[in-house]
């Protein structure tokens, strides 16, 4: 928190938008997550929903249960609580991913834009531990960052009307692994067959803001073995002393 940020402004008659610095960065998103945790842990009467994003937090409230001025006072108290918030320990997922070919139709386009070979693109992308900034848009879609700058590639000029679920892609500094079949303008270079959205489970999406995901390159045969398996079966241990320490699979999948 700084003297200038966060900024609070009304969003209609039953919500307020709390904004932090105008940039996408892990340290800024951590402030969003800390404030979100403070609100969720101490909501009080009239607070209906909290919706975090990259650098902002929307709080929905019932104006008949709490007036706007009283809500602003509560926000200041939440800010104080957020300073000492103990965020949950993040999960680290290592998802088997097949790159290129029919599963990564945009790999040639990324190579042309970046002047890198397919092997270089796959190596850089697959060695990156992507941060989950927030969940939104459609069926548990995880907004991921940061794509290393040598891989930055613009979105497609015209989005595809249908991209199969599990497709792994990127555009500019953002990455994603779409959870269900959907339209998209990202550049898709691979696919994981791990189940990323299960409406019969709670929560239906396996990822939470703050988690990290790595897309491990495997052969198609190996990637297909993960079909129907939930992402929780590909959790890895994270060292308590080193953020990016060597990790091993946890055998949670039947």
pLDDT, one tens digit per residue, over 19-69 is 999 999 999 999 999 999 999 999 999 999 999 999 999 999 999 999 999
Q: Which helix (H) or strand (E) holds 106?
A: none
Which CATH architecture is the domain 92-236 placed in? Beta Barrel (2.40)
Of 213, 206, 113, which Cα lies nearest the Cα of 168?
A: 213
Whether residue 5 has pLDDT greater than 90:
no
SS3 content of the chain, % helix, strand, coil (to 5): 25, 30, 45
Percentage of residues of the chain with pLDDT beyond 90? 85
pLDDT at 1: 56
pLDDT at 249: 35
User: Three-state SS for 108?
Assistant: helix
Beta strands 7-10 and 212-217 are: unpaired
DSSP 66: S
CA 207/CA 118 separation, integer angstroms: 28
**Topology of 7-83 in CATH?**
Gyrase A; domain 2 (3.30.1360)
pLDDT tens digit string along 101-150?
999 999 999 999 999 999 999 999 999 999 999 998 888 899 999 999 99
CA 239/CA 90 separation, integer angstroms: 11
CA 83/CA 35 separation, integer angstroms: 8
Q: Which helix (H) or strand (E) holds 93?
A: strand 92-99
Percentage of residues of the chain with pLDDT beyond 70? 92
Domain boundaries, the chain: 7-83, 92-236
Radius of gyration of the CA atoms of the chain, in A: 20
Whether residue 241 has pLDDT greater than 80:
no
CA 184/CA 246 separation, integer angstroms: 33
Whether residue 245 has pLDDT greater than 60:
no
């Amino acid at each position: 928190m700084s003297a200038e940020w966060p900024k609070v402004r009304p969003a209609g008659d039953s919500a307020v938008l709390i904004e932090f610095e105008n940039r996408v960065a892990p340290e800024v998103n951590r402030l969003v997550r800390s404030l979100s945790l403070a609100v969720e842990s101490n909501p009080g009467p009239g607070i209906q929903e909290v919706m975090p994003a990259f650098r902002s937090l929307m709080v929905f409230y019932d104006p008949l249960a709490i007036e706007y001025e009283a809500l602003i006072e509560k926000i200041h108290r939440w800010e104080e609580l957020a300073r000492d918030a103990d965020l949950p320990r993040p999960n680290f997922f290592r998802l088997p991913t097949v790159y290129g070919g029919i599963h990564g139709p945009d790999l040639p386009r990324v190579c042309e834009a970046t002047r890198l070979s397919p092997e270089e693109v796959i190596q850089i992308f697959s060695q990156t531990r992507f941060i989950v900034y927030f969940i939104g848009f459609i069926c548990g879609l995880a907004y991921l960052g940061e794509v290393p700058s040598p891989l930055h590639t613009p979105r497609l000029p015209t989005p595809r009307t249908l991209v199969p679920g599990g497709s792994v892609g990127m555009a500019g500094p953002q990455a994603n692994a779409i959870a269900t079949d959907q339209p998209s303008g990202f550049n898709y270079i691979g696919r994981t067959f791990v189940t990323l959205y299960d409406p019969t489970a709670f929560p239906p999406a396996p990822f939470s803001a703050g988690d990290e995901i790595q897309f491990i390159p495997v052969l198609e045969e190996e990637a297909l073995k993960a079909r129907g398996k939930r992402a929780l079966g590909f959790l890895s241990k994270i060292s308590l002393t080193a953020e990016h320490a060597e990790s091993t699979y946890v055998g949670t999948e039947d």
